[in-house]
A and B are shown apart, each in its own frame.
Chain A
């Protein structure tokens, strides 16, 4: 959005030392900094302290059922496309204690969860990931029954977004309308410029707290030329090899008996990887645990996947016993019924479900197959 005359957003140029200064300033204000780092041959989002923790010179190669890190031969800190998992791990952790309960002489008592931890600073949020955070904010933001955990963590969070300057092979944010440019919701946005003279960052603040932190980082003001170069770099990420047929995908709920469901069911192993890496999948189950004496009980909320048979169990049996119905449920919900529920698609085009599918099932390809078969039909 162009800023009004005279109130141009604060934009500065930082080198990597300046970026480190920004991290220090953020941590000094009490935020827990979570950002990309390399672990187990993948880029993950985890606790970081300094720029030294970031994946310097690390790129990645992603395609259907394939993920490999590779050296870029430069000093880029954000040279990968997207981490193995999104920010849902920190904003809506895989295991959350709901409450604990203790048996008493007259029954039992319920102790709600302790107060939340230190607020989070999310460093390196991509366009698709920013979109996913906003999608989940809607899911957990029901007017009557919002999830206070997610809302609280998001409200307290500082978001430092990073623009993509290249798209991965599994990316399709452009067709989903969620990228490649970062949308709303961030406090600071970085564009990493890798040049002969080294790596610099065009940093823009979108909120007051972002501006304050940028000032503390002491960068030099960005010139018109810097901003223009950054904008141009971002455009390059729009070159994407995959594309979602969104008109067809939004109507998947109308084709529950399509032959393609059997076709994909023959390949799908119902492992649930796609639901675990998906940054918007929000389904959970609950687990009750007790100590051996049975005097102390806890309820835990855990991520769940609609690909398990148990997911739809009602007394007597499960509703979705066949693979075709479980895959259909996942993709139809993600792309089609999500519109009815939350006014938008549940997919942000990050491509993780393609990368992490052990058999390389491609969500865009499945929709394209249905698109082709229904073309010309009204």
Chain B
């Protein structure tokens, strides 16, 4: 007899090593497995995070895929579980299941320009892919990060974006919907940054992540610039209770967003975007 397969619904215990506040409602946690060992994942994948007695939520991994010693999650506190997660501190434990879902096919972009289009907290699921591009910089043409935030105070990973912008081999453009304070940077939606171009549309792979509306318009702005649908990738969000295709909640047309996604090639889902309440 072979051993009974492990129940995919059973979390593994992780300890919080560090918590960093990114924005008033957004924070980044560094986690290590309680039982020791490493955690490997692909950029774009997510984990189900369990807070004792409160519940479980899907959160994408925001750390460096090259560093297996620590698991990094960036979360915005919007609901009961994410708020409970927000109240935890270093030394506390949470349950982790994963990594689940499809990944940004960052390696398929070798030899091409790569454009990351992020909106709001959507920069977090893209960060592992950006790390990968930087760790393998010589394999890419241009590397561009186009980021839109609500206000200058809502810019996620600000210091890191500044550091990236300081590099000579990377273009980082940031825009805000609403300027506040002494902001002297771009004002306007992130699709404006796409419209400005600066990449070779025929040899570009684009990764788009943010609110669904932003991804829809972001993808169509890329298309307008001449980027082919089959080289544009987006990351979907739907209600998820299990993360492994068993609970049925995340269905979007024929897809289970948890296992067929969250990362989809734009041409395979563009039609679904047009159906309301699907």
Contacts and interface: CB of A to CB of B under 8 A. Distances in A.
Interface string B232-261: 000001110110111111010110100100
Contacts of B4: 148, 152
A103 B251 contact: no
Given A286-B241, A333-B251, A325 B276 contact: yes
Interface centre among A112, A152, A319, A320 (most CB of B within 10 A): A319
A150 to B, nearest CB: 9
Interface string B33-70: 01000000000000000101111100000000000000
Given A294-B53, A325-B276, A99 B10 contact: yes
Contacts of A227: none
A313 B239 contact: yes
A73 interface: no
B175 interface: no
Nearest to B51: A288
B160 interface: no
Nearest to A338: B254
Contact of A103 (B52, B95, B244, B277): B52
Given A142-B244, A282-B246, A319-B238, A253 B93 contact: no
A66 interface: no
Contacts of A112: 7, 10
Given A103-B52, A314-B237, A142 B277 contact: no
Interface string A235-248: 00000000000000
A52 interface: no
Interface centre among A109, A314, A329 (most CB of B within 10 A): A314
B278 A341 contact: no
A107 B238 CA distance: 30
A183 interface: no
A286 B54 CA distance: 11
A113 B6 CA distance: 11
Contact of B55 (A108, A109, A288): A288
B23 interface: no
B9 interface: yes
Contacts of B242: 284, 286
Given A142-B244, A304-B248, A110 B237 contact: no
A41 interface: no
A283 B56 contact: no
A314 B258 CA distance: 14
A341 B275 CA distance: 19
Interface in A290-334: 290, 294, 297, 299, 301, 304, 306, 311-316, 319-322, 324-325, 329, 333
Interface in B63-109: 78-79, 92-93, 95
Nearest to B76: A315
23 contacts: A98-B10, A99-B9, A99-B10, A99-B11, A101-B52, A107-B34, A142-B244, A151-B5, A253-B253, A253-B254, A282-B248, A284-B247, A285-B249, A286-B55, A299-B50, A299-B56, A312-B239, A319-B238, A325-B277, A329-B251, A329-B278, A337-B251, A337-B254
Given A285-B241, A294-B53, 6 more contacts: A108-B93, A144-B259, A284-B247, A304-B248, A304-B249, A325-B276
| 7 A-B pairs with least C-beta separation | A107-B93, A283-B248, A325-B277, A145-B244, A340-B254, A297-B53, A290-B53
